[in-house]
Structure 1
């Protein structure tokens, strides 16, 4: 079984005085388990202040191994990650 799955996704980005966020919804709503990683492909997204935009992109879902999953659960329990956290990101540039 492959540990990586490519699939289309929808990226919604808002940049306003009320919110600065990016949400990714994978097509087919696959189950994301502790330790899994999602990488969205494509050019960097730029949204001007006051805008809210939606983009279609391809993404890769990389499934965590048994040990990665166990480690993530252990760390989540240690840090009491029981709230939803928004994460900012900077796209990696490929050479």
Structure 2
């Protein structure tokens, strides 16, 4: 299995009163799963206040191994519990 995929991508960056965000859309809409990493290549992007700009770049997707995928799912569950003060209590058998 090839653990690396290179693909073109579109980056949308907004820096305004309403929003400060950067979104990356990978061409071909590859399946990104827990633990996968996306690295966008190219020079740093600078967007002045009040602007919204779109860029084209290349990105490399590194697929997580089965162990990395499991670890990501486990740690994400606990991070959410800390963020939202949620407790996970095992069910008792009846």
TM-score class, shorter: 0.7 to 0.9
Aligned length: 81
Deviations 1:16-44 (A, max 9, x none): 01111000000011111000000000010
Give 5+ residue unaligned stretches, structure 1.
Answer: 82-95
Higher Rg: 2
The one-character-per-residue Cα deviations of 1:32-78 (angstroms, maximum 9, x if unpaired) are: 10000000000100101000000000000000001100000001111
CA root-mean-square deviation: 1.0
1:18 is matched with 18
Q: Which runs of 5+ in 2 are unaligned?
A: 82-94
TM-score scaled to structure 2, two decimals?
A: 0.83
Partner of 1:4: 4
Q: Which residue of 2 aligns with 1:47?
A: 47
Q: Normalising by the residue count of structure 1, what TM-score does the alignment of the two structures yield? A: 0.82
Deviation of 1:80 after TM superposition, in Å, equals 2.1
